[in-house]
Every structure is written in structure tokens, then in C-alpha cells.
Structure 1
């Protein structure tokens, strides 16, 4: 049966929050004891994975920094003034981009417990305000106060908006996440300009480390108390999937290939992750 709740995602937010801090992308306020603990516990596994040229932290950095680069371009070249980061967890992106672009209206959104924690964290540092907010959302809610409609009702439809989800979509079966994308595309169509950035792990059976990847996927599912299905076989399937959900323009980017042009961390093997830049 497809997973029909989102509560299993939060544990990984603590781990990634510590990874961002380790690589000087975050403030110490975003670090939790559980994040430090998870990093220590997983260190033997991540060391072993590197022997098969699967560097988990480098992979996380590649996707995070490529999303940052695309967001920067959207702000500076397309005039994006509103950003919604769904499943924000302990991501430092909102705080960093609000410092860099004070005019930006940044909304962080997550399930109610994580949203409450993030709200308290930002408030304690003096970062919360009219231009930097935290809202509760459940991507699977069809209506109600935690629905996408309620989240986007707070924004200005006359201003461009960009939505980010990072480390979210592969926690759900494809049919479930395509339902979210279809609802998201419908909301974005109500704005003068709407775009979406996300990471995605396709089912790259031809990848040199595919067997190790499948083992790692099983581990992620175990740690987060849920499955971690891989979506789509290739770029054409990704483009077709997003088109079915209502996106008119879809770019599929491999951080491994983008690394030289954008001066991002580069791995030895072709990338396992894709970053999607989709627009309505």
C-alpha cells in the first residue's frame, strides 16, 4: 500500500541539518543533539559507502548547492520575490537567502510539529518576521488549514513565486507524489509566474553503483520508518511525469554534470540524484 502519511520524514531532517552545519552552510542554532548522534551512528556506514564511490554527504551537498544556485538565478534573473520551502525541516536556506536578499518573502512550511519547532528556532534568533514566516502544511491534505490551498492563500498572486522541496519526494510512492505535484501545479497557476525546484532519485539501473544504491535506499527506508521508492527510469520519463501533473516546462539537471560550470562539489561517478526545475 502507498504511504499515506508524512510523519516518517522528520528524522532525516536532523541528520541533514547537521550535515549543512559541518560544511559551513548553516548556523549552530540549526544543529540538534539527535542530528549529531545520527551522524556519529551512520559514520561507519557512510565510510563503507564511499568505498563504492557513493559519498552521501557529497551527494547531499551537490543537490543542496545546485538548488541554491537555481534559486539565486530565479531571484536575480526572473524577479522571484516569494519563496515557499515545503518540508523545510532544519534547512538553513531561508535564513541565508533572507540575509542575502532582504526584499524576499520567504515562507518555510512543514508538518505541524516540525513547523512549531522551526518557528521557535527562528524566533529565538530574531529571524522571524513579516518577511520570514513558518506555516504548517501537509502535502497530502486535500483541504483544511494544513492544505496547499491554505498555504498559498497567504501569498500575493501578482508576484512571482518559487516552491522548493528538498529530500521529500522519494519518501512516497510515485502515484502519491504525482498527486501532490498536480495540486501544487494548480496552485502555482494562480500566480503571475510559478516555478518549482525539487530533487529526485530516478531508478538508474545502468548506474555503475546501482546495487549499492539499492542497498542504501533500503537503509534510508529503515532509518526513516518508511519506504524510499525510486521514481522514473530516465529523463524522458521524468519530463512526461511532470507534464502529466500540469508543468509546461521541465529541466532535468544532473549535479554531477553541472558541477564544473557552477563550481559545485564533484563526485567520481555519474550522479545518482537529479534536480528538477519545473514551471507552469
Structure 2
């Protein structure tokens, strides 16, 4: 793996602290998920967020909540309707999802994974709160590693290949160029094939120049790129292109979810900018 690819893997983590505080603010996470850096970053960015809402109608926290709650809804449906009992959340950061779902579903096994420094931090957090257990664990992973202890194959080797599995990535894919993230998706699809059924859930921001807020979105993603010391890419020109793209990576059935599907979604004058992709093997 090239040095550039390693840097692409490494620059994402700062945003985990910010989103961790957002989840806490909206009563989706308990206080231990809050970091001093996350609280500071949220405070420093508050004027920028206010300006984006006032001037452009862009609400960053609303985007974050849309994708988070929609992934939660898809995960609940998979557990309650399709019998999923093991979940892998890659690039877990400070997401409280594993804690919430393990508390709600006593038979669920939840494996969180992230780059080694963040994985170590998350493992310590869960351990100190008494939440780490045989069914809720944290492992290191680098999605760009094609072999070795931090590869996808090493991560999935500890799962029960006779049970359905569901994999989640949130706030990850748009940090990578499309060819690079499609390489990950293709490798992920290969890892999921041995399971009797497998589902992948991810959020994704498509490239929609016709969207009435497209120019403002481009401004917003340029800001995100500067804050995370990297670029932020938009992928695919609409839902049909998303379906075709995931199909080419090895997923058999692809459904694209819009945040307006949520029962709690408010009436909005503008189409949503984010999508949640549900891809099955």
C-alpha cells in the first residue's frame, strides 16, 4: 500500500471526536463518548455551522443525524425481521451504536473496528465503563490493508461463518476517491460471500449538480476537507448509478434509502443530500 493511501486512512479520525459530541448533544450517546477535543471542536465550529444554516440552508448536524438514524432504522429491521445476530461496524470512531444496540438486543454480537489508535481508545472507553464483553468487542482494522493483522480477512476471521452478518460504515466512504473506495467494497463483498446472508450499510453523498443546494454543498465539503486535512469526494450521479456501482463491486441486491423514509423526518423544501445504501450479497 502506498504512502498516500496510508495518509488517506489516517486523516479521518479527527471528525470522530466532533460527531461523538453531536451524538451526545442529541441524546444518542452517553457522556463517556464525549471527548475534550470533540467538545472544543463543536464549540469552535458553532459560528461556522450557524452561518451555513443562515446563509445557505445547510445544517451539518441535521445531515449527521439523518444518516445516523437511517442506518439505525435499517439495522433494527435486519435484526428484528431477518435474524441478524452479528454486526461489524468499521470506522466506528466514537459511535454509540454498538453500546445502544447491545443494550437493546441481548443476543447480538457487535464487533467495532477502526484504525489502531482509535480502536485502542474505543476499547479502553468500553472497558472502563464495563461495556466491553464477549459479545461487544473492538478490533484494529485498516480498510486499505490487503493482508496482515489489520486486514479485512483478519477482522472477519473471528466471526461465525454459519450466521448472517451485517457490516456498517458511517462517515467513511466520501473521504476516499471512488476507485479507492470501490477497491474496498470489492474486497468487502468477497469477505461476505461465505456467510449464509450478508448486508452492508453505508452512508454516501452522491454528486448531484442539479440539486438546488449543490453549490453550498461544495462549499461545505471543501470546509470538511480542510478540517480533516484531506479531500472529501462526492460519488455517483444519482441513485441508479449507485446501484450499478455497488453491483459492479459484487453486491447482488442494492437498495438506496432516502432520509425522507424516516417516520420522524420533517417536511423539507429541498431533496436530501445524503443517502444510505443497503447492499446485500
TM-score by length of 2: 0.96
Q: Which runs of 5+ in 2 are unaligned?
A: none
2:67 corresponds, among 63, 70, 74, to 63
Distance 1:153 1:176 in 2: 23
Root-mean-square deviation (CA, aligned residues, Å) is 1.3
Q: What's 1:147 paired with?
A: 151
Residue among 164, 167, 174 paired with 2:178:
174
Higher RCO (Cα < 8 Å, 6 or more apart): 1
Structure 1: stretches of 5+ with no match in the other structure = none
Measured after TM superposition, the shift of residue 49 of structure 1 is 1.1
Cα distance, 1:223–1:165 mapped onto 2, change above 3 Å: same
The residue that corresponds to 1:118 in the other structure is 122
> Does residue 76 of the first structure (1) align with residue 80 of the second (2)?
yes
Is the CA contact 1:82–1:105 (under 8 Å) kept in the aligned structure 2? yes
Give the corresponding residue for 2:33. Answer: 30
Q: Which residue of 2 aligns with 1:158?
A: 162
Shift of 1:205: 0.5
TM-superposition CA deviations, 1:148-186 (whole Å, max 9, x none): 000000000100000000000000000000000000000
Rounded Cα–Cα distance in structure 2 between residues aligned with 1:25 and 1:134: 20
Aligned residue in 2 for 1:91 = 95
Q: Is the 8 A contact 1:21 1:27 kept in 2?
A: yes
Q: Which moved more, 1:169-178 or 1:265-274?
A: 265-274
Tell whether 2:278 aligns with 1:274. Answer: no
Q: 1:114/1:12 Cα in 2 relative to 1: closer, same or farther (>3 Å)? A: same
Match of 2:51 among 35, 43, 48: 48
Q: Which residue pairs with 2:199 in the alignment?
A: 195
Number of the residue aligned with 2:235:
231
* DSSP 3-state at the match of 1:4: helix
Q: How many residue pairs end up in the alignment?
A: 277
